[in-house]
Amino acid sequence: MLDVRRVRTEPDALKAGLARKGVAGEEVDQLAELDRRRRELSEQRDDLRARVKTLSKEVGGLRRAGEVEQAEALMAESRDLGAREKAVSADADVVAGELRELLLRIPNVPAAEAPDGAGEADNVVVRVEGFDPDAYGEHQRVPHWDVGAALGILDLGRGAKISGSMFPLYRGAGARLVRALTSWALDRHADAFEEIRPPSLVRTDAMVAAGQLPKFADDAYHLERDDLWAIPTAEVPLTSLASGEILAEADLPVRLTAATPCFRREAGAAGRDTRGLLRVHEFDKVEILAYATPEQAPAVHADLLARAESLLAELGLAYRVLDICTGDLGQSHARQFDLEVYAPGCDLWLEVSSVSWFTDYQARRADIRYRRAGDGGVEHVHTLNGSALAWPRIWAALVETGRRPDGTVVLPEVLAPWLGDTTVG
């Protein structure tokens, strides 16, 4: 969420920034008006409270002195003030609630460096690595759902029987491949990231803090009976890990990694890209996340991106890096790079990672702050995170890329310690 004070201190800059994400100027004006009314009402409320407090102290003194009659008079006056305070206070709460609700729905301001654009089509391809369209043979032009079915390592029919479509079931070497990828990736981040195994069901607060709610409630699975949400990404529990806390600057950046299942209803995407593993309701992903000072944030962002990229390179996959334009940026995001791998069988670029910088937008929702080493001042941290990586589409790209003319598949050598045999079929 944005700092309301910016509405007062730099309304024009704020409007200009939000306009790049398509937010109308009226919304900022609406914020300004609610903020003005909120402060006006809280001032009235504070004045009334101050008078009640003063009177109450006098009552105490008079009663001790035995001046019962005078005390009674003050009590009556205070009772009256109290009633007025209650009314003003209720109004103040209503306005504060409206302000917060609006604030929770207004997106983050994009970073100055983020490219302008209206939507997906305007994202900028920053670089393409390891891709030569002529280097793929006919044997690699088989989609992973066919390869997986032929080798008995992907059983979409059984998954659908148990849970419905878009709930994949991997088996044998296919299941082991997912486990290998997870173990390998966690180990690759172990040099700088603390491994966390967070809960997969979280409270509403955690979903709000990460920016999933209130806007994207339809995309998340909700367990009504217990009022818990199935996490759509480890970003949710990891962001709330430090909620309500004040960290020491010396401890920053805090770097965390976690492998978790991720659950997505994909409510708005029914029927689109649903073949095979292109879009699924449940998948495993390794996430890397950091809390940093504003000064550290750009370097941390670059490091997260470099880590996700190096994993793709080590897996021998062709990939490209997209600088996400303002029109396609997520609600909480100031800057975002997406990584897409090339899957020759589907002949598609598949998004497998999103490396994001949220400035203090999430930290403000989650109330994560740090104490500056120099002057001891307290301010919100910056949060950053990236997938490194999300496995289903990697699984698809590996199986398609590694397919040989005889129909068997060769998997990357780096996974040998977990796979044993890197040849499938």
Least Å distance, CB 262 to RNA, is 22
Which residues have C-beta within 8 Å of that of residue 53, sequence separation ≥ 6? none
Which of 233, 261, 188 is closest to 356 using CA atoms?
Answer: 233
Distances (CA, A) of 123 to 117, 137, 218, 270: 7, 29, 26, 23
Q: Pick the closer one to RNA by CB: 16 or 378.
A: 378
Which residues have C-beta within 8 Å of that of residue 290, sequence separation ≥ 6? 253, 254, 255, 256, 300, 304, 383, 384, 385
Q: Pick the closer one to RNA by CB: 63 or 222.
A: 63
Strand partners, 282: 263
Q: Pick the closer one to RNA by CB: 84 or 139.
A: 84
Q: How far apart (Å, rounded) are the C-alpha atoms in residues 280 and 392?
A: 8
Which of 201, 357, 374 is closest to 291 using CA atoms?
Answer: 357
CB-side neighbour CA atoms (13 Å) of 293: 14
List residues near RNA by CB under 7 A: 4-5, 39, 42-43, 45-47, 49-50, 52-53, 55-57, 59-60, 63, 75, 78-79, 82, 93, 246, 369, 371, 376, 378
Backbone angles phi, psi at 388, to 5 degrees: -150, 70
CA 16 to chain centre: 24
* Active site residue ranges: 264, 279, 351, 354, 393
**CB 209 within 8 Å of CB 243:** yes
Q: Pick the closer one to RNA by CB: 49 or 179.
A: 49
Distance spanning both ends of the chain, measured CA to CA: 51
Q: Pick the closer one to RNA by CB: 45 or 393.
A: 45
Angle at which helices 391-401 and 144-151 cross, to 10°? 80
Q: Pick the closer one to RNA by CB: 46 or 219.
A: 46
Q: How far apart (Å, rounded) are the C-alpha atoms in residues 135 and 138?
A: 10
Least Å distance, CB 307 to RNA, is 32
